[in-house]
């Protein structure tokens, strides 16, 4: 049990790279634009580039780990991430910042993808669900802490200090993994690295509805709250009329729901059926999304009322998310790394598209943000209903 908790802590630290790389610098968008002499709209593209590279590389992290082992892929990616963060801290122009953000995106996702495969390498069933929930519960602290840390670093030292912080965090996680992360995929179980076979496996995965439906269900549900993360500078400063140090008003409710939901999912793993856990989670998400829309249509958004539906939504999301994730991974037991890669790629591709296309159009309007949340959770629900019909 203690060994499992230690592994969960290490994998949670790895997973934190993603939200730290997104959320810490959100309060600095206006300062970056002013310092680099560009419009704030172009600074938004540093988030989109990061997410697109993050999503694209997701397809390879898991495949590489299936062939070369989990640990080497993680250590190499952490090394690249640390140097990319240092480069971003000293970027002299928007072009240079975009390049280093791209490198961050290419390397930051290994922990999430390979970590999920490592859990399934070691555990199955309720035990795997419990560990995934524990990882989510710990890693969910990152979106709450990141904007607070970023906001104060911006006030005290400027935006470059945020990337110095990311450099230090990447180095710390690299040292932690080099000492405490064991290999979970023995050499005899690794797959030969043949591009033709890999392409065939990807083709098979992307045509398998029992795999794709839970993947898209998880992706659409996650977008329901991610639109608020991506729109945070607009939502907090322009809609709620709060200062750049007040991002906690958004992120603490979001993350509180995630932490409590993940902890509840872990405790219910051996008590409730998967179907009951998922049904409860989706009922909460739908209720929160509808309540949020009604409030935004009838009232002028202000704290705390404008953020109260968000923790209920993220509670339901993280209650159901481990089940959705395991349902997808269990379809391909012989290539969990690849399955985890596709799962993460779809989710991050959706995130990138929303950040690049949807948020710039609706980020300043609380009503449209609430409507988008409703649309995405309905799409997620439809995916699960189709999956349930298929499994009958």
Residue 283's pLDDT is 96
Residue 3's pLDDT is 56
Residue 260 near residue 144 (C-beta atoms within 8 A): no
In the chain, what are the domain boundaries?
Answer: 2-180+194-391
In sequence order, what E strands does 205-286 have? none
CA–CA distance, 303 with 258 (Å, rounded to integer):
20
Show pLDDT as tens, one digit a residue, over the chain (392 residues). 455 667 788 888 888 888 899 888 888 888 999 999 888 778 888 988 998 888 778 788 878 888 888 889 999 999 999 999 999 999 999 999 999 999 999 999 888 888 877 877 777 667 777 777 778 777 777 777 887 888 889 989 999 999 999 999 999 999 999 888 888 777 877 877 788 888 888 888 888 888 999 999 999 999 998 898 888 888 888 888 887 667 778 878 888 898 898 888 878 877 888 889 999 999 999 999 999 999 999 988 888 888 899 999 999 999 998 888 888 877 777 777 778 788 878 887 888 788 878 888 888 888 999 999 999 999 999 999 999 888 77
Q: Following DSSP, what letter does each residue of 287-305 receive, concatenated?
A: HHHHHHHHHHHHS---TTG
Residue 124's pLDDT is 67
Rg of the chain over all Cα atoms, to the nearest angstrom: 20
Residue 167's pLDDT is 96
Tens digits of per-residue pLDDT, 128-182? 777 777 787 777 777 778 878 888 899 899 999 999 999 999 999 999 998 888 8
List Cα–Cα distances, 136 to 140, 199, 318, 387, in angstroms.
Answer: 6, 31, 8, 24
Q: φ and ψ at 147, to 5 degrees? A: -70, -30
Residue 4's pLDDT is 60
Q: In this structure, which CATH number among 3.40.720.10, 1.10.10.10, 1.20.1250.20, 2.30.42.10 belongs to the domain 2-180+194-391? A: 1.20.1250.20
> In sequence order, what are the residues at sequence separation of 6 or more whose Cβ sits closer than 8 angstroms to the Cβ of residue 65?
73, 74, 110, 113, 114, 117, 185, 337
Residue 330's pLDDT is 79
User: What is the SS3 string spanning the chain?
Assistant: CHHHHHHHHHHHHHHCHHHHHHHCCHHHHHHHHHHHCCCHHHHHHHHHHHHHHHHHHHHHHHHHHHHHCHHHHHHHHHHHHHHHHHHHHCCCCHHHHHHHHHHHHHHHCHHHHHHHHHHHHHCCHHHHHHHHHHHHHHHCHHHHHHHHHHHHHHHHCCCHHHHHHHHHHHHHHHHHHHHHCCCCCCHHHCCCCCHHHHHHHHHHHCCCHHHHHHHHHHHHHHHHHHHHHHCHHHHHHHHCCCCHHHCHHHHHHHHHHHHHHHHHHHHHCCCCCHHHHHHHHHHHHHHHHHHHHHHHHHCCCCCCHHHCHHHHHHHHHHHHHHHHHHHHHCCCCCCHHHHHHHHHHHHHHHHHHHHHHHHHHHCCCHHHHHHHHHHHHHHHHHHHHHHHHHHC
Residue 15 corresponds to which tokens in the numbers above? 């997973």
Residue 337's pLDDT is 74
């Amino acid at each position: 049990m203690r060994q499992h908790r230690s592994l969960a802590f290490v994998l949670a630290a790895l997973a934190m790279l993603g939200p730290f790389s997104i959320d810490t610098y959100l309060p600095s968008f206006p300062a970056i634009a002013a310092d680099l002499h560009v419009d704030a709209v172009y600074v938004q593209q540093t988030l989109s580039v990061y997410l697109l590279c993050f999503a694209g590389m997701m397809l390879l992290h898991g495949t590489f780990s299936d062939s070369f082992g989990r640990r080497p892929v993680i250590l190499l990616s952490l090394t690249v991430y640390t140097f990319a963060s240092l480069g971003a801290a000293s970027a002299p122009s928007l072009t240079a910042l975009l390049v280093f953000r791209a490198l961050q995106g290419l390397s930051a996702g290994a922990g999430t993808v390979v970590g999920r495969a490592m859990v399934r390498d070691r555990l199955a069933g309720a035990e795997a669900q419990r560990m995934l929930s524990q990882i989510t519960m710990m890693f969910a602290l990152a979106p709450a802490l990141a904007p607070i840390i970023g906001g104060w670093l911006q006030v005290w030292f400027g935006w470059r200090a945020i990337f110095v912080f990311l450099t230090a965090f990447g180095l710390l996680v690299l040292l932690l993994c080099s000492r405490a992360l064991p290999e979970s995929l023995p050499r005899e179980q690794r797959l030969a690295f043949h591009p033709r076979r890999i392409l065939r496996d990807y083709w098979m995965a992307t045509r398998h509805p029992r795999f794709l439906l839970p993947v898209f269900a998880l992706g659409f549900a996650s977008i329901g709250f991610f639109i608020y993360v991506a729109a945070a500078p607009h939502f907090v400063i322009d809609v709620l009329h709060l200062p750049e140090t007040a991002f906690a008003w958004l992120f603490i409710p979001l993350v509180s729901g995630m932490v409590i939901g993940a902890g509840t999912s872990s405790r219910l793993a051996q008590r409730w059926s998967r179907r009951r856990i998922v049904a409860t989670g989706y009922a909460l998400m739908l209720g929160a999304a509808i309540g949020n829309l009604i409030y935004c249509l009838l009232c002028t958004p202000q704290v705390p009322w404008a953020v109260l539906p968000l923790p209920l939504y993220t509670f339901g999301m993280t209650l159901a998310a481990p089940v959705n994730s395991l349902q997808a991974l269990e379809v391909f037991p012989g290539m969990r790394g690849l399955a985890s890669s596709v799962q993460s790629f779809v989710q991050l591709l959706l995130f990138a598209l929303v950040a690049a296309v949807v948020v710039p159009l609706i980020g300043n309007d609380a009503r449209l943000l609430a409507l988008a949340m409703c649309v995405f959770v309905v799409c997620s629900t439809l995916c699960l209903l189709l999956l349930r019909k298929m499994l009958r």
